[in-house]
Amino acid sequence: MTSDFSEDLSAFPPEQTVFPIAGTDLRVLDGDHPLLTANRTSIRENWEREIAANPALFDGRMVLQHRLKLSEEGIVSEAHTVPFSTFMWWRRQPERKGAIHLFAYPVLESSDGPLVAIRMGAHTANAGQVYFAAGSLEPDDVVDGRCDIHGNMAREVMEETGLDLADAVAGEGLHASHIRRSVSIFKLFRFDMTADDMVDFISRHMLVADDKEISGAVAIRSADPAAQPYNVAMLPIIDWYFNR
């Protein structure tokens, strides 16, 4: 572990390794992200291509990390808010230099053991992919200059599934994993509902939800990576969960 901020994840455990962290201190700084400042024209040109292919995309604002460090206190980072178009350009770069994407994963556990995830709608940036109900950190998640990941998880789960994390039993501690300069911080939340009941509940919520980003719910019953078209960040988590 290191006490120094870094623009890469070389001080972290290897990619796709699940490891515990003591906490987070995700600081959001004023001003533009250096990645945005250096690549405005390319970002704008790529966004024009993105919306030509998918007019439903919205260029809202999100939090994108610049530098991180890992220590006994957990993950500490410095970030800026950027337009979504900045992230879309960055994730298409082969080496994804200049930024790190960090997000929170609420892992929904059923009373009979399976995990419950959602499938993204055809009009979204991750169409058809299966992952836990989550979303990038947004300005609404910033409190006193720092990201509230628990608030982010509760909001995203409520919006996408209708489930209230306050009704679940939270697992102990936080864990993290990373791949291709994308860091997922996750926590278990166990509901007193079977997986089938949770899937049915989410399906009913979809009929009345203002947010139409998802196309359905999925019960995950094994660590088989080919069982669903999983977002790559899901794979180390489901492997860790089912093989603990």
Per-residue pLDDT, averaged over 181-188, amounts to 97
pLDDT at position 2, please? 40
Q: Residue 102: in which H helix or E strand, if any? A: strand 101-109
Which residues on neighbouring strands pair with residue 81, listed in sequence order?
63
Residue 102's nearest CA partner among 4, 22, 25 is 25
The model carries a pTM of 0.93
Please give the Cα distance from 32 to 201 (Å, whole number). Answer: 41
Per-residue pLDDT, averaged over 181-201, amounts to 98
Assign 118 to helix, strand or coil.
Answer: strand
DSSP-assigned states of every residue in 200-243: HHHHHHHHH-S---EEEEEEE-S--TTSS-B-GGGHHHHHHHHT
Per-residue pLDDT, averaged over 93-122, amounts to 95
- Considering the chain, what percentage of its residues have pLDDT values greater than 90? 86
CA distances from 240 to 50, 74, 79, 107 (A): 34, 20, 28, 12
Please give the Cα distance from 24 to 73 (Å, whole number). Answer: 7
pLDDT at position 1, please? 39
Task: Please check the confidence at residue 7 and state whether its pLDDT lies above 80.
Answer: yes
Average model confidence (pLDDT) across the chain: 94
Task: Please check the confidence at residue 30 and state whether its pLDDT lies above 70.
Answer: yes
pLDDT at position 214, please? 82
16-30, 99-113, 199-213: lowest mean pLDDT where?
199-213
pLDDT at position 148, please? 97
Instruction: Tell me which DSSP letter residue 13 carries.
Output: P
pLDDT at position 241, please? 97
Assign 195 to helix, strand or coil.
Answer: helix
pLDDT at position 3, please? 47
Sequence-ordered list of residues with C-beta below 8 angstroms from that of 63, at least 6 positions apart, any chain:
26, 28, 79, 80, 81, 82, 102, 136, 137, 138, 139, 141, 142, 147
pLDDT at position 215, please? 85
Give residue-wise pLDDT tens across range 34-91.
999 999 999 999 999 999 999 999 999 999 999 999 988 899 999 999 999 999 999 9
Contact predicate 18/175, CB 8 Å: yes
pLDDT at position 166, please? 98
Which residues on neighbouring strands pair with residue 37, listed in sequence order?
none
DSSP-assigned states of every residue in 14-81: PTT--EEES-EEEEE-SS--HHHHH-HHHHHHHHHHHHHH-TT----EEEEEEEEEEETTEEEEEEEE
Per-residue pLDDT, averaged over 163-189, amounts to 97
Task: Please check the confidence at residue 196 and state whether its pLDDT lies above 60.
Answer: yes
Give 206's pLDDT tier (boundaries 50, 70, 90). Answer: confident
Per-residue pLDDT, averaged over 148-172, amounts to 96
Per-residue pLDDT, averaged over 11-21, amounts to 96
